[in-house]
Structure 1
């Protein structure tokens, strides 16, 4: 009798173990279906700028510092709003797709075009007046003047980026991953070739690099537009319509709160570069920091991939009204991203300045990068968790709350602490960076707490209300 009970318990444990393994494997596949292309896409888009920076860095250290200022300060502010707004609209796309309200995705895409292009136009003066803005912020005047010339190129790039982010959110929410991956790879490879051809082979120098940068964003925009409008998304794209303006106010509110949330994060890291520009030996310090930020940016793309995956998985499962699936997807996304972050943490502690020589020939700059590597490693570890939790907030539509969390953690704790350590205690750029890391740690802890106490049944109810306003006439819903 006892032996039979023991045997039954063993069989039950074996079945439970197999079920858990199957559940983990299935969720892992679902995560990587989104995360793989979501990593590849920002790897490509960010990689375009890293390649540009690498080519420019071999022409002049002043031009490298100027490009780094425009990209890491001015463009980062604009990109933060754009990326956040696109993610906010991606929340609506993901929830509508999960609820099988496919016709609404095309309307959200058109709303994304309108909102992001208007926002980009309003932010364009930041590029036009980049030089005086950077001088006002205390940057070296010679570097700021060169940066002003670079900034004009970023006007066109920012408009192209607005369209690209809209397409990406629309396609990503449907797991249309092949087309996203294809153009991500093609645009990156094309940029490497045209940068070499125009700047080195044909001798156009920095101008050739910037022309190649713009062309690298034209290619995916044209390709994805043709794919969407020519039958690639028959269920979700019904053509352009004035219905896109219906209830656009609700979409604007969600996208703006999401834009503020992400922009606060982007600008926070930018302040490290700005504060460093006010310290001694600005050119070397900015060059070294720009290299660290580039390396951090590459690694952050992995976390951004899982941020997108968490957002899509959470929003899809909320649309399907499956609480258990929501919780399990969050656990898997955070655990997988943290594991990768831990590996990167160890790698950058070991290799230190060796990676710097891909961006510069200066031993002095490489030495500063080596000195900052421990701080870079800790940043990579924290950044493997925090963006994924932000993705959970995106999936639930809680961007407004996270914006306040970011404001308090970054600008009331991290930044003041960094200024005190850097300037009062004379720890220079290391002190500023330590303060910024502490702010990120506080923000991560708050996001963990928020995720743990979330009422997911209530989030399902809110998700259903969020996607109900827009409707199409019945005759337009058939494929």
Structure 2
């Protein structure tokens, strides 16, 4: 598992996180008997003869005059009591069907007519109240949205931390080797898998709300085929990693141990890919607690395995290789638990029988997947490039980089969760044509982001001389970590602001602006400047972190400036125009699909 997996995988995980806060909250509390009755009543249009029927149906929306099956409740009511969800468009009548017009209204959310919004009590009020009152209201709402996402991400990241801590106390060389192995795994494997599977964030939710929910299972099967082929070159790279690392001028002992780490990690690679697919399969149906429950059960097992296989009694103790084996076992346990849950505890509404159709339309996934890899991997690779530069400074610097990066990644989970919550809230407000409150939400998010970042900064400064002992006992590593932590403390403030402003930009549909901002910050300013300081000015690892801090000062300053200069009424109009175009296009596409089916 890469140390940077959670911290720098925002683009691929964001759609699922939006769903965590919004999509499941709109579930209708229907029992299974009612749903069975609805299935029997649901009229069938027959198969479509359109060559791209699967693609078109994944984007289907409710059409006037056509019934749409209301899906089963996607989340138990007791889990969503803090939310007061509503959905746009017509609600099901007693028969379970939707009827009536679906023209976008002032309550239509940013992401379209069948994506639910989270309604708050303050949303019905006018905007004449005092600005400070509105600000405090939005702070409370954002806090409520942020906590569940933060908890989920932190739980996932515990799998990484357990491995780092268990290896870190073996030796500095072992920690450096595991860091190098993880960076190689991230660059050549995990980032590619996450990039490809992020395509399902687009395909599956639309399939679930269409008239053919079984396409969820079909697209998941197709992605499994794509992943099976993609894993072949990844496995080849990992098997021959030692020669590659030696070619890159790595320390021979560290390179050998890193290659060993990668070879044992191969046992968990297929499970890692499967988990990325199964997580989206469940989440597209609103079953967001399934992956969380599974990880909650596996996390303590993973910690126990790391102890037994790395430090445990003689019959179990394997030393260095115990950590990758423990991680691989944990990935496979997650896969097994997901299969069991999907087979025995989840209705088969979304499942498609395995057939030769899983080998069709693969080009769509490959095309979108490559774009996803480009979006996801660009930011991952920038941090791995910094790690590679740190490895050239020696094992002590590489081990120190591991401690610092894991620490920064852990604290990053809070502002990143806040950015997800902010994106959801601002998007809904723009869909409601409430630009004034969207502006207030922006200010509230930035204030919370600063407060969280200052809290982490203070923590690092107070415990800077003792912090490294959590991961490693080497005196050189402890001293170097303590000397760089003041820079990391400053880094925290701008890292948090950059994350929050990025969430606001995504809510406004300015992903391209955010991508350009990150690319220029890292590749044009931060990394080149940090490498120059590290190697030309002999600042070592200090120079690399100064460069990273400079890049985030630039990114956060420009991002915050864009947020404050935004014309929110103009953003509201852009959203409404986009919704009208999307609605007209969807109606035309669906009507053509229906006509083709009747002609057949």
TM-score, length-scaled by structure 1: 0.79
Q: 1:112: how far off?
A: 4.0
The yes-or-no answer on 1:51 pairing with 2:162 is: yes
C-alpha distance in 1 between matches for 2:510 and 2:222:
20
Cα 1:25/1:433, change in 2 over 3 Å: closer
The yes-or-no answer on 1:292 pairing with 2:404 is: yes
Match of 1:138, SS? Answer: coil
Q: 1:268: how far off?
A: 1.4
Gaps of 5+ in 1: 1-10, 475-479
1:34-78 residue CA offsets vs partner (Å, 9 max, x unmatched): x62x43444344322321222122223212210111113433553
Alignment of 1:204-243 (within 5 A): 204-232=318-346, 236-238=350-352, 240=354
The yes-or-no answer on 1:345 pairing with 2:457 is: yes
Q: 1:293: how far off?
A: 0.9
Q: Are the equivalent residues in 2 in contact too, given 1:163–1:221 (CA < 8 A)?
A: yes
Q: Who is 1:255 aligned against?
A: 369
The yes-or-no answer on 1:131 pairing with 2:242 is: yes
Alignment of 1:289-438 (within 5 A): 289-306=401-418, 309=421, 322=432, 324=434, 327=438, 331=442, 336-388=448-500, 390=502, 402-438=514-550
- Greater mean deviation of Cα atoms: 372-381 or 250-259: 250-259
Q: Who is 2:575 aligned against?
A: 456
Structure with bigger helix share is 1
Q: Are the equivalent residues in 2 in contact too, given 1:337–1:385 (CA < 8 A)?
A: yes
Q: 1:330: how far off?
A: 7.4
C-alpha distance in 1 between matches for 2:400 and 2:157:
18
The yes-or-no answer on 1:278 pairing with 2:415 is: no
1:296-323 residue CA offsets vs partner (Å, 9 max, x unmatched): 12122334444555677788x59x9656
Q: Are the equivalent residues in 1 in contact too, given 2:235–2:266 (CA < 8 A)?
A: yes
C-alpha distance in 1 between matches for 2:587 and 2:497:
29
C-alpha distance in 2 between matches for 1:210 and 1:106:
31
C-alpha distance in 1 between matches for 2:388 and 2:517:
23
Q: Who is 2:108 aligned against?
A: none
Cα 1:296/1:117, change in 2 over 3 Å: farther
Equivalent residue pairs, number: 456
Aligned match of 2:288 in 177, 182, 192?
A: 177
Alignment of 1:80-229 (within 5 A): 80-93=191-204, 105-173=216-284, 175-199=286-310, 200-201=312-313, 202-229=316-343
Cα 1:113/1:424, change in 2 over 3 Å: same
TM-score, length-scaled by structure 2: 0.64
What CA RMSD, in Å, does the superposition of the two structures yield over aligned residues? Answer: 4.1
Q: Who is 2:62 aligned against?
A: none
Match of 2:410, SS? Answer: helix
Q: 1:195: how far off?
A: 2.0
Q: Are the equivalent residues in 2 in contact too, given 1:314–1:329 (CA < 8 A)?
A: no
Aligned match of 2:190 in 79, 84, 93?
A: 79
In terms of Rg, which structure is larger? 2
1:87-119 residue CA offsets vs partner (Å, 9 max, x unmatched): 443245456668998665445534443444443
C-alpha distance in 2 between matches for 1:473 and 1:223:
39
The yes-or-no answer on 1:269 pairing with 2:374 is: no
Gaps of 5+ in 2: 1-125, 596-600
C-alpha distance in 1 between matches for 2:272 and 2:288:
19
